[in-house]
Structure 1
Amino acid sequence: MFEAKRIARLKWACRRGMLELDVLFLPFVEQAFDELSEHQQLTFERLLTCDDPDLFAWFMGHKPCQDPELSEMVQLVLSRVKLSVN
């Protein structure tokens, strides 16, 4: 399980240069991150190391993510955020 300091860094990393990504990542961390398996948490942490243009393209469906784990995480984030909006 992630310690409080690491969660704080993760939330900081969710603050991106694009509003479209900000509105996906921060709610996901606040609402769903604790429910993820340790492996999924590490995958999400790795996702946040990707460049904003790539993240934007993946989340907006402009191009597929070639990494299967990251692609699965993109879909998980999208599904969770859609659920919380409805």
Structure 2
Amino acid sequence: MTEDKDYSRMRWASRRGLLELDLLLGPFMESCFRELEPQLRQDYQQLMSHEDQDILNWIMGREALSDESLIAITDQIRAHNRSKLR
């Protein structure tokens, strides 16, 4: 898949049913997705296959991740959002 198609598909997948999640994922997609290493892109795609509430809880640190391979990408999303608050 080309980079632009991959980006477009993941940008669309990042539009979720929870406003809080949209506010976390949308800016991350816009600012960071294109620069991610291929493995982190795959991890992000895998993350998007989960339920909204689970994703939100994992990013917010309310629940432990059920899949350890998603730790790096959720850490990236968290770090990006923390940097916006400073």
Letter in 1 for 2:50: C
Percent identity between the aligned chains?
A: 33
> How far did 1:66 drift?
2.3
- Range with greater deviation from structure 2 (76-85 or 11-20): 76-85
Number of residue pairs aligned between Structure 1 and Structure 2: 86
Aligned twin of 2:80: 80
Is 1:10 paired with 2:31? no
Alignment pair present for 1:47 and 2:31: no
- State the distance in 1 between where 2:60 and 2:28 align: 16
Aligned-partner SS, 2:83: helix
Return the alpha-carbon distance in structure 2 between the equivalents of residues 25 and 40 of structure 1.
14
Q: 2:5 & 2:54 partners in 1: Cα distance?
A: 27
**2:8 is the alignment partner of 1:38:** no
Runs of 4+ in structure 1 over 2 Å off:
none
Contact 1:64 1:71 in 2 (8 A): no
Normalised by the size of structure 2, how large is the TM-score?
0.88
Q: Partner of 1:64: helix, strand, or coil?
A: coil
Give structure 1 stretches of 5+ with no counterpart: none
Q: Is 1:67 equivalent to 2:67 in the alignment?
A: yes
RMSD: 1.6
- Return the alpha-carbon distance in structure 2 between the equivalents of residues 64 and 2 of structure 1: 33
* Residue segments in structure 2 that go unaligned for 5+ positions in a row: none
Distance 1:45 1:8 in 2: 12
